[in-house]
Structure 1
Amino acid sequence: MNSRMRAVNFFFFKVIPLSIIFGFCCLYSLKAQQFSFNGTRTKNAVNFNLIRNLVIIPIYINDKGPYNFILDTGVGPLVITDTTIINDLRLSDLRPIKITGLGKGIEIDAFLTNQVSARVGKASIDYIPTAILKTDILGLSNYMGVKVYGLLGYYFFNSFTVEINYSSKRVVFSLPGTKKKIKGDIIPLQIINNKPYINVELYTKELGTINAKVVVDNGASHAISLETLNEKPFPVPLNSIPANLGIGLSGPISGNVGRIPKIRIGNFELKEVISSYPIYNDVAAKTLFLNRNGNLGADILSRFNTTFDYTNEIMYLKQNPTYKRPFEHDMSGIEVYVEEDATKHYFISRIEPNSPAEIAGIREGDEILSINFTNTKTLNLNDITKTLRSGDGRGIFLSINRNGELLIKLIKLKKRI
């Protein structure tokens, strides 16, 4: 799979098998596995970039950096996806392993190490369990439009009470037990296999009201993914469309996209929520915790200022100014990825069949030079994504480069879900 085919319109899945976590525990049980502060400090904060609903923070690895990492409740160990930093980190004790993750495909090669120290702001950890992918199959940098080197999850969230303030784009983290009034409604958590789970109430036209257990995954940019119901594939609503849902550790994930009329999380009720339904054998059949119904992602979580307290198994939700923004799916049928040299170049990686883009004659591999006559060099992926969801029936002019030929195409956006 080349870099052009790694880009996805919705989200990527990631699973680090439980055997890896157990392996870390056995191999490195005597090593410290908590972030901590020096001296009497109990609290710190870092700013973050928000791209496609995902939180990107700067991390120093083995005193090198900073490197951009996605802060992600959906992963256990530190995951390094971009191996270009391995030489900088001077790692020697790398244990080869095979990983079977989500998606269609075969096992992939990776390495385990305990030679990594990490620092976030004033907090640091030595010997953090780390998985290093031999090949960057997720293509996070192409997907995000900035250089991204990996994912940081459980060991950070388990060390602190962590507030992700999507309004101010700031992560505030404090030691457990630090006296602080936390704002928001309390949502009980369960920490299972190093990941947080909550119960939500779903209402669907076909099934009525369902109580569902979902993993809270702020590192997945979708709203909600529904995978299983009573250990069978979650029923796909009649009003849905086939879609390429993302990329997993074992390859692409396909399925359908539809809407859930109502989702209740505690006292909050969200309506007409975009929902994804991955093919059962690609996702649900490979999950470690079978008694779960799906995955709650950042298109919902980013509507709140969210605080995670793993020690007390609590999540706090306080709605922010984006709470009432409508849930929208792409209205063009275009998937975009980024290649960067001296400047950014936006290419089309996939065209959905029978979509406005296909009707307009857009092709895979076309480079987007401008959108509505605004040069894409002045835009970022958030700008482009927002434009491609900007209104049913709206006309969008694309200037494209196709093998050196300049073409102007008009796409009439269509609300397909």
Structure 2
Amino acid sequence: MLKIRTLTRFLRHIVFFLLLFPISGWAQTFALPDGKKFERLKFRLVNNLIVIPLQVNGTELSFILDSGVDKPILFNLSDQDSVQINNVSEIMIKGLGDGEPIRALRSHGNIFSSKFITNSDQQLYVIVDRNMNFSPSLGIPIHGIIGYDLFKDFVVELNYGRRFLKFHDPETYTRSNSRRDQSLPLSIIRKKAYVDGSLLLAKEQQVKLLVDTGSSDAIWLFENETLQVPDAHYDEFLGEGLNGHIFGKRTRVDEIRLGRFKLENAKAAFPNSDSFDAIKNLGNRNGSVGGEILKRFNIVFDYGRNTMTLRKNRNFSAPFRYNLSGLSLQHDGVRYISESIADSRGVVHSEENTFGDVQILFQDRLRMSLVSEIIVSGIRAGSPAHEAGLLEGDVILAVNGKRIHRYKLQEVLNMLNEQEGKQIDVLIERYNQDLRFSFVLKEMFKKKP
């Protein structure tokens, strides 16, 4: 067993394209203890993504549960994480994005566990490029993604409404007969799950969609002769893949149906084709359905029976949120702020802080706190924020008079995209100067009456 920071000197080089070929190798299985029927695990829902804690060889890490990934992938590891990984070789992998293949480590014989479930021979990959890091854009530490190996070994009950997972033993699981549920057939192809649905986009079309819990978006669609980008669209940065930025066109679909469930005026995106160079043959796949739609249901994934059971939850009728301001934000380290202390005894009523709460008190009158710094990481051309004069790299200090260090990253994003027609006043720092900007949120697409 080797510490992650000392591995590279022992590696050999092979070329491997992770998304193109199924991975074969060592037998590996997650299991519950004898007699236990399920394990319940709470998760955090961050930007429509499911974040779960898992231990890797005794070190607790945070994973995104991603039904679109085969083997677990680790990234954003530092010397402080002190993760041990075993039996290592070096490879190159290619994923979504517009960049080149990236260097990674392949490892087997690792122990993955939570309270009850354990896999003592888990294969994994480690991205050694430190630029591969989702934590700044999500506002919490993220160390990796995991998917198929959990879905294949359990019946996975995913309760978005109450934020918990249940990993059921397939041998003892009893299916619900509630009339509120509908079971849809899943196609498990190359260790990924696909579901059939229909879209109303100029005309009704049948589509096959990858079920992708690792996407925070609603629907991604691949343009072809029959599936065309509507005239009402705009260009936008869509997200990060394993190989870099993904750009595309943002639009709406009039309707999407999964079984009997219908969602109207749903968000959709058409990623640029160069982001999918790694996928040479899409077959009859038309795109993917992600977290912004999936979170509207409580879902049971039963890969053994090739089914996905849906039940509407309290999120079902929530509006689809667009980036009305045009701003993308991310964490960018920490900064000190000073505040006066209201009472003479210097009692501090601290807010939850994702990256800790370090404070220095001066004579019970002044408090200095170490807080996370949030910056503008991107800005859409022609958006309200762009026209108002904000720039990439601006440090956000306050939104509508609220000092943002008291809030989580996703809460700040919600402030900046609350509703069409709302005026937003932003205080920023640029080159050691505090500047104020105002703009009005603008909806890019109007709902049909």
TM-score, structure 1 as length reference: 0.90
Q: Does 1:36 align with 2:31?
A: yes
Greater displacement, 76-85 / 283-292: 283-292
CA–CA distance in structure 2, aligned partners of residues 380 and 107 of structure 1: 33
SS of 1:400's partner is: strand
Question: Residues 264-299 of structure 1: CA distance to partner in whole angstroms, max 9, x if unpaired?
Answer: 100001100110001112227625543210010000
CA–CA distance in structure 2, aligned partners of residues 87 and 302 of structure 1: 31
Counterpart of 2:163?
169
Q: Does 1:62 align with 2:57?
A: yes
- Aligned Cα root-mean-square deviation (Å): 1.8
Counterpart of 1:160?
154
Q: Against the structure 1 CA distance between its residues 402 and 346, is the aligned structure 2 distance closer, same or farther, given a 3 Å change threshold?
A: same
Q: Please give the residue correspondences for 1:120-139 in structure 2 after superposition, counting only pairs within 5 Å.
A: 120-139=114-133
SS of 2:99's partner is: coil
CA–CA distance in structure 1, aligned partners of residues 391 and 217 of structure 2: 25
SS of 1:242's partner is: strand
Counterpart of 1:298?
291
Letter in structure 2 aligned against 1:129: Q
Counterpart of 1:8?
none
Asked if structure 1 preserves the Cα contact closer than 8 Å seen for 2:37 and 2:173, the reply is no
Residue 395 of structure 1, aligned match among 411, 417, 423: 423
CA–CA distance in structure 1, aligned partners of residues 56 and 182 of structure 2: 35
Pairs aligned (count):
391
Question: Residues 171-221 of structure 1: CA distance to partner in whole angstroms, max 9, x if unpaired?
Answer: 11111032434352111101111111000101112xx11110110001100
Counterpart of 1:385?
413
Residue 259 of structure 1, aligned match among 252, 265, 268: 252
Counterpart of 2:45?
50
Q: Against the structure 1 CA distance between its residues 412 and 203, is the aligned structure 2 distance closer, same or farther, given a 3 Å change threshold?
A: same
Question: Residues 226-282 of structure 1: CA distance to partner in whole angstroms, max 9, x if unpaired?
Answer: 01436x8x4111000011111222221111000000111000011001100011122
Q: Does 1:279 align with 2:283?
A: no
SS of 1:260's partner is: strand
Residue 114 of structure 1, aligned match among 99, 102, 108: 108
SS of 1:348's partner is: strand
Residue 325 of structure 2, aligned match among 325, 332, 341: 332
Q: Against the structure 1 CA distance between its residues 288 and 129, is the aligned structure 2 distance closer, same or farther, given a 3 Å change threshold?
A: farther
Letter in structure 2 aligned against 1:48: F
Question: Is there any run of 5+ residues in structure 1 with no aligned partner, and where?
Answer: 1-14
Q: Does 1:408 align with 2:436?
A: yes
SS of 2:136's partner is: helix
Asked if structure 1 preserves the Cα contact closer than 8 Å seen for 2:69 and 2:146, the reply is yes
Q: CA deviation at 1:382?
A: 2.3
Q: Against the structure 1 CA distance between its residues 92 and 126, is the aligned structure 2 distance closer, same or farther, given a 3 Å change threshold?
A: closer
Q: CA deviation at 1:365?
A: 0.3
Question: Is there any run of 5+ residues in structure 2 with no aligned partner, and where?
Answer: 1-16, 335-369
Q: Against the structure 1 CA distance between its residues 124 and 289, is the aligned structure 2 distance closer, same or farther, given a 3 Å change threshold?
A: farther
Q: Does 1:212 align with 2:214?
A: no
Q: Does 1:80 align with 2:60?
A: no
Counterpart of 1:186?
183
SS of 2:410's partner is: helix
Counterpart of 2:231?
238
Q: CA deviation at 1:151?
A: 0.4
Q: CA deviation at 1:164?
A: 1.2
CA–CA distance in structure 2, aligned partners of residues 198 and 335 of structure 1: 31
Counterpart of 2:95?
101
CA–CA distance in structure 2, aligned partners of residues 318 and 229 of structure 1: 32
Q: Please give the residue correspondences for 1:294-373 in structure 2 after superposition, counting only pairs within 5 Å.
A: 294-341=287-334, 342-373=370-401
CA–CA distance in structure 1, aligned partners of residues 52 and 114 of structure 2: 8
TM-score, structure 2 as length reference: 0.83
Question: Residues 80-138 of structure 1: CA distance to partner in whole angstroms, max 9, x if unpaired?
Answer: 01232697233352211111222212111001000321013310102212011011444
Q: CA deviation at 1:317?
A: 0.8
CA–CA distance in structure 2, aligned partners of residues 114 and 300 of structure 1: 34
Asked if structure 1 preserves the Cα contact closer than 8 Å seen for 2:235 and 2:248, the reply is yes
CA–CA distance in structure 2, aligned partners of residues 50 and 389 of structure 1: 19
CA–CA distance in structure 1, aligned partners of residues 186 and 175 of structure 2: 19
Asked if structure 2 preserves the Cα contact closer than 8 Å seen for 1:51 and 1:381, the reply is no
The runs of 4+ residues in structure 1 deviating greater than 6 Å are none
SS of 2:304's partner is: coil
CA–CA distance in structure 1, aligned partners of residues 280 and 111 of structure 2: 29
Question: Residues 3-33 of structure 1: CA distance to partner in whole angstroms, max 9, x if unpaired?
Answer: xxxxxxxxxxxx93233x43xx14x2xx3x2
Asked if structure 2 preserves the Cα contact closer than 8 Å seen for 1:188 and 1:313, the reply is yes
CA–CA distance in structure 1, aligned partners of residues 114 and 185 of structure 2: 27
Letter in structure 2 aligned against 1:175: D
Q: CA deviation at 1:340?
A: 3.9
Q: Against the structure 1 CA distance between its residues 129 and 147, is the aligned structure 2 distance closer, same or farther, given a 3 Å change threshold?
A: same
Q: CA deviation at 1:39?
A: 2.6
Larger radius of gyration: 2
